[in-house]
Amino acid sequence: MGSSADGLKRFIFWDYRRAGWQYDVMVGIILLFIFATPREWFRDWPRPSSIVMVPSPERGTSEFLMGPEELEGVPENGRVSRASMLLNTHFKKRNVVRVEPIFDSDQEVRGYLAVTRP
Structure confidence by residue, pLDDT tens digits, 39-77: 778 776 665 567 888 888 888 888 888 888 888 888 888
Residue with the bigger pLDDT between 31 and 53: it is: 31
Bridge-partner residues for 57, per DSSP? none
Average pLDDT of span 30-47? 80
Inform me whether the pLDDT recorded for 38 exceeds 80: yes
User: Inter-axis angle of helices 2-12 and 21-36, to 10 degrees?
Assistant: 60
Inform me whether the pLDDT recorded for 11 exceeds 60: yes
Average pLDDT of span 82-103? 84
**Band of residue 16 on the pLDDT scale cut at 50, 70, 90:** confident
Where on the phi/psi map is residue 67: left (φ > 0), alpha (ψ -120 to 50), or beta? beta
